[in-house]
């Protein structure tokens, strides 16, 4: 699915109630803590907005089938950097153009806070995208802010999953390294370490292994916030789900 493809969904099974929204401002950073109810799972999402650095970051705990993550949108570098502490990995990808910049998002989140954080939306714009690993990057070739955010974790560049990269669920195939590259199989980083058989004997049992999934929520309005005046017909709550997909090789059995 293309990253730019969006679905506007009437929310029935996915109930998002933004409540107990808290706001703290210190130095050049404004922090919001939003309590979210997603399909019965309740969790707090923390949003940090820094207008001076031109960044927005989201801290989301593990919930449902989504990993614990820290997502940094850097509007100066035009990059999204994602740190997955439990997966032991960090990755970067291009910044989506539709995302609200720090100033706009801060204004809209303050509007939500002033409405006591108890506005329940009728619609949620849901976007989803699928990515694969491109290559591991050297810290010396990266911006210091990216290296600092990743906090010592290996950093990979992502590329959007090719549309023709299709693997039947449960399919087994023994492949050589050359054939694996030609056929488009994408191995998860370090998944090929310490195998008891050589690469030409690997069995790739691909079931679209998800090597890290993230989701963030925010509010966005299509008109200037001063024109909203508590009328949410021009505003939506946005939900972005992103998955990194790869395969894990195993050795033959028997």
Cα separation, 199 vs 87, whole angstroms: 24
pLDDT in the model for residue 54? 97
pLDDT in the model for residue 9? 36
Residue 159's CB is within 10 A of a number of other CB atoms, namely 13
pTM of the model as a whole = 0.78
Full DSSP string of 33-51: EEEEEETTEEEEEEEEEET
pLDDT in the model for residue 102? 95
Per-residue pLDDT tens over the stretch 66-115:
889 999 999 999 999 999 999 899 999 999 988 999 999 998 888 877 76
Torsion sign, CA atoms 64, 65, 67, 69: negative
pLDDT in the model for residue 7? 37
pLDDT per residue of the chain (254 residues) written in tens, 0 to 9: 343 343 333 333 344 444 456 677 777 899 998 888 777 788 889 999 999 999 999 999 998 888 899 999 999 999 999 999 998 999 999 999 889 999 999 988 888 777 654 555 556 777 888 898 888 999 999 999 999 999 999 999 999 876 655 443 333 343 334 334 334 567 788 776 677 788 778 776 665 667 788 888 887 777 777 776 666 667 777 888 898 888 877 888 75
pLDDT in the model for residue 162? 67
pLDDT in the model for residue 21? 63
pLDDT in the model for residue 191? 72
The helix/strand/coil state of 2 is coil
């Amino acid at each position: 699915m293309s990253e730019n493809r969006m679905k506007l969904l009437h929310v029935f099974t996915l109930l998002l109630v933004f409540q107990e929204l808290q706001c703290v401002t210190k130095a050049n950073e404004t922090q919001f803590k939003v309590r979210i109810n997603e399909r019965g799972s309740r969790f707090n999402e923390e949003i940090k907005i820094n207008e001076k650095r031109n960044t927005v970051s989201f801290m989301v705990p593990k919930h449902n089938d989504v990993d614990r993550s820290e997502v940094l949108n850097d509007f100066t570098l035009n990059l999204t950097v994602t740190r997955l502490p439990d997966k032991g990995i960090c990755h970067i990808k291009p910044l989506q153009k539709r995302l609200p910049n720090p100033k706009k998002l801060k204004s809209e989140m303050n509007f939500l806070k002033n409405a006591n954080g108890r506005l329940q939306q009728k619609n949620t714009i849901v976007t989803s995208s699928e990515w694969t690993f491109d290559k591991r990057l050297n810290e010396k070739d990266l911006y210091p802010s990216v290296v600092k955010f990743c906090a010592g974790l290996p950093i990979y560049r992502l590329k959007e999953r090719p549309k023709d990269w299709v693997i039947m669920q449960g399919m087994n195939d023994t492949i050589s390294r050359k054939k694996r590259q030609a056929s488009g199989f994408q191995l998860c980083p370090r998944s090929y370490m310490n195998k008891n058989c050589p690469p030409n004997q690997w069995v790739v049992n691909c079931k679209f292994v998800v090597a890290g999934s993230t989701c963030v929520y925010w509010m966005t309005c299509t008109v200037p916030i001063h024109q909203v005046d508590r009328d949410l017909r021009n505003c939506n709550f946005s939900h972005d789900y992103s998955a990194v997909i790869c395969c894990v090789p195993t050795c033959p059995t028997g």
